[in-house]
A and B are shown apart, each in its own frame.
Chain A
């Protein structure tokens, strides 16, 4: 058996115990020596939410045209935060674990996957806060909507893993990769209907609107709106705020196919590049 030839992401499934320990390590190490600890995972998104709400909701008066704008805004922000944290950390994960990678062989896919997992752990408390807020304003989701919540989460997790594998591997050779990812993360908040409503984009893009819908993050955010925001609206408000056309029947399957394809490409690239990680780091 030739040493050091992994089977990619399948090895990660086999090494669940190690993955668990790596995730636990990251979580413990992240907030070491800080008084508030894990509370920072709540405070940062809350501050971010407050800033956007004051600037866009109140100053630009988006809350006038969008009912329950706070819920609309927060459900998008929570999901985008998960993506930005997961992709950012996954991209840096290989270079940051260089001491280990240079000296001991273990499936290198573990590091990006662990990074995404850690982000998911920080995402869940925010999700709970969101659910709590929705319940207060009378949230009653259907079973299908709960399923859509899971699908949206998977979309983001798989997309972040795929892109994280790709950019994390390239980052070993060219540190420019980190900066490219930083730019992607800057754009992603604005490339999905987080702060504004999707119909504004359709008004501008017209028949090219499908390009906007091809972004898996757009679909994931729209799914979250459907899950958390739509059930809190009354009949009149619902009539004024239609769902993006064909979201569940067409765009969700396309987004799923795209993210799986991206993960596949990320994995292929990662495997090809990972053979020389130890000497390039």
Chain B
């Protein structure tokens, strides 16, 4: 693995195994132990195997792969939601995930309350949110509806507000999962412009998307995952064509 001067993410032989448990009851678990642990109480599968790579600060990387290849698991590991079973994962700088926009929203709170709650969840301080508030509302194009409960928002308004909060958190590392499917076309263009702006400002970007043409324009580098293994890492155009070749071969 190459050594990078100023790494933002260092991922070394990371392994993640998921356990599919069949029961959540203490009784069944006890019976299973009493019976001499016969049979399987759970099933295991490897979501990621031996994945190693380093992302330098300011790099824009596309995580590519078909469904179930482990992309989202990798993003969750980087964001800290999950912990690796083996290997090590180190990050430098504050991370914000656009992994699930609006995950921290509460339907019964107003847009205003949700901006504060979500901003705090993503690591913003009170004074930063105060300062950014108007800009967040402007970008989301919510206007006077900011004091309405978000359950009355259209799905577009909801996603726009969530996206707007996330891009205003000003992290050093940005994790983006399928965010570009948000909203109507004008707003998508606006999001894309914002993401490119972040990249130009020297933020580290990790993007997951199935829109291969789009990630080719945003990212410089591509990492291809298949069944939890890293199979290609290089300039995004090469990796995209490799993915296309492989998915055609499967058909």
Binding site for B on A (CB under 8 A): 1-5, 15, 17-18, 21-22, 24-25, 28-29, 32, 99-106, 173-176, 275-276, 278-280
Complex interface: chain A residues within 8 A of B120 (CB): 15, 17-18, 21
A–B pairs, 24, beta carbons within 8 Å: A3-B79, A3-B89, A4-B79, A4-B81, A17-B126, A18-B121, A21-B116, A21-B117, A21-B120, A25-B109, A32-B108, A104-B99, A104-B100, A104-B104, A104-B122, A105-B79, A105-B81, A175-B24, A175-B25, A176-B27, A275-B83, A276-B83, A278-B81, A279-B18
B109 touches A28 (CB 8 A): yes
- How many angstroms from the CA of A143 to the CA of B119 in the assembled complex? 43
A174 touches B24 (CB 8 A): yes
Q: How far is the CB of B21 from chain A (nearest CB, A)?
A: 8
Cβ–Cβ < 8 Å partners of B97 in chain A:
103-104
Residues on B with C-beta less than 8 A from A275 are 83
Contact of A1 among B82, B91, B122 (CB under 8 A): B91
B residues in contact with A279, CB < 8 Å: 18-19, 82
B25: A residues at CB distance < 8 A: 174-176
Interface residues of B in 102-120 (CB under 8 A from A): 103-104, 106, 108-109, 113, 116-117, 120
12 additional contacts (CB under 8 A) given A3-B89, A4-B83, A279-B82: A2-B90, A3-B78, A4-B80, A17-B120, A99-B103, A101-B81, A102-B103, A103-B81, A173-B24, A176-B27, A279-B18, A280-B21
Chain B residues with CB below 8 A from A173, complex form:
24
Q: A106-B121, A176-B25, A279-B18 are in contact. Are A3 and B91 (CB under 8 A)?
A: yes
Q: Is B196 an interface residue (CB 8 A)?
A: no
The complex places the Cα of A175 from the Cα of B21 at a distance, in Å, of 13
Which of B25, B77, B97, B104 has the largest number of chain A CB atoms within 10 A?
B104
- Give the docked Cα–Cα distance between A104 and B213 (Å): 28
Q: Is B26 an interface residue (CB 8 A)?
A: yes
Whether a CB of chain A sits under 8 angstroms from the CB of B236 is: no
Cβ–Cβ < 8 Å partners of B92 in chain A: 1
Would A28 and B99 be within 8 Å (CB), given that A2-B90, A3-B80 are in contact? no
**Known contacts A17-B125, A175-B24; A104 and B103 CB within 8 A of each other:** yes
Give the contacts of B36-78 with A (CB-CB under 8 A).
Answer: 76-78
Kindly provide the distance from the CB of B25 to the nearest chain A CB, expressed in whole angstroms: 7
Give the A-B pair count, Cβ closer than 8 A: 88
User: B95 within 8 Å of A by Cβ?
Assistant: yes
Q: Are A174 and B29 in contact (CB under 8 A)?
A: yes
Which A residues lie within 8 Å of B116 (CB)? 21
Residues of A within 8 A of B83 (CB): 4-5, 275-276
7 nearest interchain CB pairs? A4-B80, A3-B80, A105-B80, A103-B103, A18-B120, A176-B26, A103-B100
Is the CB–CB distance between B82 and A103 below 8 Å?
no
Set of chain B residues within 8 Å of A103, measured between Cβ atoms: 81, 97, 99-100, 103
Cα–Cα, bound, A99→B77 (Å): 17
Decide yes or no: A102 and B81 within 8 Å by CB, A32-B108, A174-B25, A174-B29 being known contacts: yes
Chain B residue with minimal CB distance to A3? B80
Residues of chain A within 8 A (CB-CB) of B100 are: 103-104
Tell me, rounded to whole Å, the shortest Cβ–Cβ distance linking B158 to chain A: 14
Query: Which of B78, B103, B109, B125 makes the CB contact (< 8 A) with A29?
Result: B109
Instruction: Give CA–CA (A5, B106) in the complex, Å.
Output: 26
Complexed CA–CA distance, A32 and B120 (Å)? 23
User: Which A residue sits closest to B84, measured CB to CB?
Assistant: A2
A277 nearest in chain B by CB position = B81
Give chain B residues whose Cβ lies under 8 Å from the Cβ of A101: 81
B113 touches A25 (CB 8 A): yes
* Residue of A with least CB distance to B107: A29
Given A28-B108, A28-B109, A104-B122, A4–B82 Cβ distance below 8 Å?
Answer: yes
A177 to B, closest residue via Cβ: B26
> Once the chains bind, are B82 and A29 in contact (CB under 8 Å)?
no
Measured between beta carbons, the chain B residues less than 8 angstroms from A106 are: 121
Residue of A nearest to B95 (CB): A3
Cβ of B88 < 8 Å from any Cβ of A? Answer: yes
The chain B residue with its CB closest to the CB of A33 is B108
Minimum Cβ distance to chain A for residue B112 (Å) = 12
